[in-house]
Amino acid sequence: YLIEYHSDDASSINVALKLYSLSSMYYGIFEQYINRLSNNLNVIKYLYKNKLCGTQQHLRFIVVRRIAIQIELFALNNFRTLTQIDQQVIFKLFELSIHRYSE
């Protein structure tokens, strides 16, 4: 609507940008990133396996990495993702910015 009828209305564009910023609050962690971190952790655990203390006792940095992965998984599961509506708003604002400067 803004593109077709009011491409020079700065206050409406400002409101649209505020709506966009409210609707796009999501946490950008990808599941593939978590899987890669988990695979790296398993490789490191295997390489630095403490054979004297048993299988359940790992070096401190391995435990810290495991906690970091669990925090990332918590963030992935408890924050919402970018929805279809968010994507449409982004696309429309992009169209508006292109239309505004192409005139």
Given the structure tokens 């239309």, which residue do they identify?
99
103 neighbors 7 (Cβ within 8 angstroms): yes
Asked whether the predicted pLDDT for residue 53 surpasses 60, the reply is yes
Write the CA distances from 45 to 38, 40, 58, 71, 95, integer angstroms: 10, 9, 7, 18, 49
Output the CA torsion sign for 13, 16, 18, 20. negative
DSSP letter, residue 13: H
Q: For the residues 9-23, what does the mean pLDDT come to?
A: 65
**Per the structure block, which two tokens stand in for 39?**
């695979």
Asked whether the predicted pLDDT for residue 40 surpasses 80, the reply is yes
